[in-house]
Amino acid sequence: MKPFSVAYTSACHFGVIAAVHLPDDPAPVPDGVLGQLPEVERDHARTLGGYRQVSFVGGRLALHRAIRGLGRRAGPVLPGEGGQPQLPEGVAASISHKRTLAVALAARDTHGSVGVDLEDLGPARMGIADRVLVASERALVDQLPAQRQWTAVLLRFSLKEAIYKALYPYVNRYVGFEEAEVTPLRDCQADVALHLKEGEGPFLVEARYQWMDGHVMSTVRIRSGTPAPE
């Protein structure tokens, strides 16, 4: 696979997902690749070094492709104070990356805000469970066979990261792991209960996940309001 080439672009439940291959190498991004970005983004990329430059460039390439999938075009998209992309009017989007892959989710903002998170399946790091899980989640994970516990922790971690990204445009602050309780379902959806410490909301949260080759990817859409009664 060629570095910075498109891995895929596809429609998903919440918008358009685009993914770009990243080189597992901190060498400077070639000028030919930088030239695919708007000038302001190129200038910003040149202020970064190593893997930060690689991930920024790959993330922006994926983002622009996802936005084009909506039938839109965006000018330069620079990071905001919280690291979130400063998006053009009418667009909601989110970016995530691991060492060899960057993904972006883009949607029309009339349907709410979105978040995406990509995580490597290995190596297992069960030590993060106490930081990521609330007591009810930890009890459920502890009931699972040992060989399934890590993926159960990782999935909840990924979903919560995507929730934080989707919430940020509404709350403009860091949201801790303890402020969301996540219950993955068998149909690759998840129930989410928010316990926001500053009382923001109410919000309607939709969450989905998918297992990929060596990764799990979570996508979230959040809208103001409460669910309609069943």
Q: Which among 62, 97, 61, 60 is positioned nearest to 79, based on CA atoms?
A: 60
Q: Is the pLDDT confidence value at 177 over 90?
A: yes
- Mean pLDDT computed over 55-70: 97
Q: Is the pLDDT confidence value at 52 over 90?
A: yes
Q: Which domains does the chain have, with CATH numbers?
A: 6-111 (3.90.470.20), 116-224 (3.90.470.20)
The DSSP annotation for 34-92 comes to HTTS-HHHHHHHTT--HHHHHHHHHHHHHHHHHHHHTT-------B-TTS-B-PPTTEE
- Mean pLDDT computed over 153-171: 97
Instruction: Give the pLDDT of residue 73.
Output: 87
- Mean pLDDT computed over 21-46: 97
Give tens-digit pLDDT for 89-146. Answer: 999 999 999 999 999 999 999 999 999 999 999 999 999 999 999 999 999 999 999 9
Q: What is the rounded CA–CA span in Å between residue 114 and residue 108?
A: 10
Which conformational region is residue 219 in: left (phi greater than 0), alpha (psi within -120 to 50 degrees), or beta? beta
- Mean pLDDT computed over 180-204: 97
- Cis ω for the linkage preceding 26 (within 30 of 0): no
Give tens-digit pLDDT for 18-29. Answer: 999 999 999 999
Q: Which among 45, 10, 5, 6 is positioned nearest to 28, based on CA atoms?
A: 45
Tokens representing 57 are: 């460039």
